[in-house]
Amino acid sequence: MGPHGAGRRRSCGTRQERTHLTGFRFLTFDCYGTLIDWKTGIELSLKRAFGGFPLQGKGLLDVYVLAEKEEEKSYKKYREVLRNSALRLRPTHSAADLSAAEAFANSVPSWPAFPDTRRALRALGKSGYARYILSNVDTDLLEGTIRNNGLEVEGYVTAEEVGSYKPNPGHWLRFMRKTGTKKRDILHVAQSIYHDILPTQEMGIASAWVNRYREPLPANAHPAYIVDSLESLVKLLP
């Protein structure tokens, strides 16, 4: 592999000249929201399982995300997090709702990848980077996602494996133990400021924020690089 590594913090969009980075050997990725279109997956799967909600679109997703954040405060398997979060959206819980929540929890491997995901992972692998996923899900759900979407990665760390959810540092600590790598060798690639950018910042691990939804950067977040897609990241990295 040629030299890769950290330079100045910079932003890039769809038209970005190549920047030479020196030092990174491993690219770690958040999965749902970064590689996988979790917004589409969640909304379609909730509607398919429950038959509809009074809230739609962003309103439904905002309420769901808050419910899931509450459920992840203490560790439980992600299937339970999904079931409980879905049920929080319903005023009462019928037997049909319980069955629908179970169906929703099992839907994760069917959530679609973003259009640039497979192509970007393949290109980054050809450039010599080792690609790992660090995800807040159960191992079998992530394995199903990788298989169903044809994601080319060398390995992964899951919440089930470490017994905690990001932003807890357990995923990164486990990854470094598994691979024997150092913080300076890692560039973490993610969409979530809360779950990924802030904790890597606190750990001293460089990050690339994939701002797929054109959101403002919080004042307390300082990713090393800002891109609007994985396609843009491929153009940024040599």
On whether both 105 and 182 belong to a single domain, the answer is no
Write the CA distances from 186 to 99, 129, 183, integer angstroms. 41, 10, 6
Which tokens is 35 given?
A: 């590689």
- Full residue range of the structural domain in which residue 67 is found: 38-110
Q: Are residues 217 and 137 in the same domain?
A: yes
Q: Is 5 left (phi over 0), alpha (psi -120 to 50) or beta?
A: left
Beta bridge partners, 156, equal: 133
The SS3 assignment for 129 reads: coil
Stretch among 95-99, 139-143, 195-199 having the lowest mean pLDDT: 95-99
Radius of gyration of the chain (CA): 18
Q: Which amino acid, 37? A: D
Say if residue 94 is in the same domain as residue 126.
no
Last residue of a domain, one of 110, 131, 162: 110
Q: Would you say residue 149 lies in a domain?
A: yes
Say if residue 184 is in the same domain as residue 232. yes
Sign of CA dihedral 138, 200, 1, 226: positive
Residues 121 and 204 in one domain: yes
Tokens linked to 228 = 């609007």
Q: Give a yes or no: residue 49 inside a domain.
A: yes
Task: Provide the annotated active-site residues.
Answer: 30
Are residues 30 and 139 both part of a single domain?
Answer: yes
The pTM (predicted TM-score) of the whole model is: 0.89
Express each pLDDT in 37-73 by its tens digit: 999 999 999 999 998 776 677 788 899 999 999 999 9
Would 3 be classed as within a structural domain?
Answer: no
- Whether 89 maps to a domain, the answer reads yes
Q: What is the CATH number of the domain that holds 187?
A: 3.40.50.1000
Spatial separation of the C-alpha atoms in residues 26 and 43, rounded to whole Å:
32
